[in-house]
Amino acid sequence: MRFRFVDLLYLAAVLSLIPSTAGAQAAGGGSQAAGTASIPRAGDGRPDLSGIWQVLNRANDNLLSHSASEGVPAGLGVVEGDEIPYRPEAVAQRDANFANRDTRDTEANCYLPGVPRITYMPFPFQIIQMPETTTILYEYAHATRYIYTNGSAHPDGPINWWMGDSRGRWDGDTLVVDVVHFGDQTWFDRTGNFHSENLHVVERYSLVDTDHINYEVTIEDPTVFTRPWTMRMTLYRRTEPNFQLLDYDCYAFEWEQYYPYPGR
């Protein structure tokens, strides 16, 4: 078989990639290892999560997959298995919340939405990572959250805080955040999915590459749910030139457009 010169050049280029690919796999992980090596890192060698991030999903409307309805666009679910394992006695409360969501939802009243909901609100937020404390500034309602990564323990409780108390640690390249000390007033979304004051949240922030974070949250609340359950989504870096958090003051009447019920 006769080859053109350009064919030989192409073949040589393809063959030159094989050793490097095999070497990467042997080093422990193929493309994943290469991606991990390329992520930005802080001065202490940890992945640097600093930046402005935002979700691109409809989880704040409903954590589960849902069709479009009046005032609510359709959305894909973010819950593993697309099911929230409520205890039978808690289902009635969820349904009552849904029926009265125009007045009971903390977002409709401009209260702080709690963790993890504030992460998937339709507003950007800024992570400022330091060795012993990671601060998150949220555009929504000017909320501020501190994640202590200095090895300190949660304060004694019970304590009812809108955003809970956050203590973080590094598990390899993943920031794991343990959050407790909640009240029972915040919801997970606008459809009335709720929790009690016994809520325990574990967040996992894993930087995939420069502009994407895998965000995983495990929810545990034996008062409301039969077992722990998990949601997952991607956080996207806002890369527009000069992008920044802007002023946002919540006014309860603004949310009437999101709860368009007859007779209101």
pLDDT at 187: 98
Co-location of 208 and 142 in the same domain: yes
Q: What is the pLDDT along the chain (264 residues), one digit of tens a residue?
A: 443 444 434 434 433 433 333 333 333 333 344 456 689 999 999 999 999 999 999 999 999 999 999 889 999 999 999 999 999 999 999 999 999 999 999 999 999 999 999 999 999 999 999 999 999 999 999 999 999 999 999 999 999 999 999 999 999 999 999 999 999 999 999 999 999 999 999 999 999 999 999 999 999 999 999 999 999 999 999 999 999 999 988 876 554 555 543 333
Co-location of 184 and 135 in the same domain: yes
Query: For the packed helices 5-26 and 30-38, what is the interaxial angle rounded to 10 degrees?
Result: 80
pLDDT at 6: 40
Write b or e for each residue in 97-128: b if 16 or more Cβ atoms lie within 10 A of its Cβ, otherwise e: bbeebeebbbbbebbbbbbbbbbbbebbbbbe
pLDDT at 250: 84
> Does a structural domain hold residue 43?
no
84 in Cβ contact with 99 (< 8 Å): no
d(CA 198, CA 85): 16
Co-location of 211 and 104 in the same domain: yes
> Does a structural domain hold residue 46?
no
Per DSSP, 225 falls in state: B
Its domain, for residue 70, covers 51-258
3-state helix, strand, coil in the chain (%, to 5): 25, 30, 45
Element (H, E) at 233: strand 229-237
| CA 25 remoteness from chain centre | 30
Residue written as token pair 């709690």? 114
Beta strand 125-129 with 133-138 is antiparallel
Co-location of 97 and 217 in the same domain: yes
**What would the pLDDT profile of 71-121 be if each residue is shown by its tens digit?**
899 999 999 999 999 999 999 999 999 999 999 999 999 999 999 999 999
d(CA 234, CA 54): 9
Length of the chain: 264
Co-location of 92 and 205 in the same domain: yes
Please give the backbone phi and psi of residue 235, each rounded to the nearest 5 degrees, phi first.
-100, 130
Tokens of 30: 């193929």
Co-location of 14 and 61 in the same domain: no
Co-location of 198 and 119 in the same domain: yes
Q: What count of other Cβ atoms lies within 10 Å of the Cβ of residue 219?
A: 23
d(CA 250, CA 107): 9
116 in Cβ contact with 220 (< 8 Å): no
Strand partners, 171: 174
In order of 181, 223, 227, 248, the CA distances from 140 in angstroms are 21, 29, 31, 6
For the chain, the domain total comes to 2
